[in-house]
Structure 1
Amino acid sequence: MFFKDRRDAGRLLAKKLARYRGTNAIVLALPRGGVPVAYEVARALKLPFDLMLVRKLGVPGHEEYAMGAIANGDVQVLNKDVIEDLRIPAQLIAAVAKRERTELERRNEVYRGGEGAPAVEGRTVILVDDGIATGADMRAAVAALGTQHAARVVVAAPVASYQACSELREIVDEVVVVATPVPFGGVGLYYLDFQQTPDAEVVRLRSETEVPTSWWH
């Protein structure tokens, strides 16, 4: 299955999430690729939309292969199988995490102007990305939500690996995807247009669907 682009994928994903239309849910996107997808989901479901800032910890030399991920609130999730298989030393993990933490802080300043995340207590949170391969990013996002007392956490993506979906179902209330190809290739293989989403597009889309002020910490 091929999606035309992320916006097209978001519209298809929204159909799978139709039961949340007009509820107290909030859609949180994993930048940058998840933002156009989540924007279409939020628009179709008439829900507030914002960002869940997460950074992948890529294996040096193979950055698209996740050995873990970090999220706001000093959250770090490690892919222990990858780390053990590749014998990645702790010092190297720490160095990559430090670099990605700097980028996470930069993005928070650029995308949010340094604001905090929206309050999610008692609400359904729909976490959206453009695809899920290992699931490390999503696990970090879920961990970051762990102390915020969301009523329900839903992970959603247009395409995901079967293994990642199985693992995520153990830690969230629901996983919603359009397609789970077997075998699973890279996320970009399922998009006709998979160009990188620029920072300016993230800022623009976020500004078009503002979260009510009463939802901020």
Structure 2
Amino acid sequence: MTQAHRWWDKIAEKYSTQPIADIPGWEHKLDRIRSHLTPDTRMLEFGCGTGGNARRLAPHAGSILATDLSGEMLRIAKARGDEKGLTNISYERGDFLELDLPAGQFDMVLGMSILHLLDDRHAAMAKARQLLKPGGLFITSTACLLDGFWFMVPILPIGRMLGAFPPVKAFGAKTLKREIADAGFEIEYEWRAKPSAALFIVARKPAG
């Protein structure tokens, strides 16, 4: 497991109280995800944070495995899920790439606001494909800094040294879409609230 969990453990309580920056955008993404859910859907979310997505989606899915590096994030996620009586969410701490799970068991793998934080997003995409059933969906929302926040790129290492930012990778939407396709997915839907916003993608693992 990487050491990134220490940064997220440290900020978990504060993070859990911060409001959603773009509620209409978030609701649009949730609506699109829900449109693919059934009472039989088995979903895995990696980088689940404090569990906001999982809680909103749980009533529409069969089961959700919510995973994260941060034990503190998961503690908050579980507490809030338990408060709502959501019994179809299970939680597992760990590096997504190191999760010991059988291949081809999930209908959906969800990674929201996480790919740009990973050391190896290509491996994460490959892991998602491995865990999905044929025809399963990989859904992600990803900050593409080079499309609107390129001016921040030079200060990211400084912010990381000062403890203000986690490690962040800078790339653009064209790069991300190419990488998702190269990982063996077919992109079915893409959306951004505005040109500089996170890119939301619904991609399918071929059924054949």
- Asked if TM exceeds 0.5, the reply is no
TM-score normalised over the length of structure 1? 0.41
- Larger RCO (CA under 8 A, 6+ residues apart): 1
TM-score normalised over the length of structure 2? 0.42
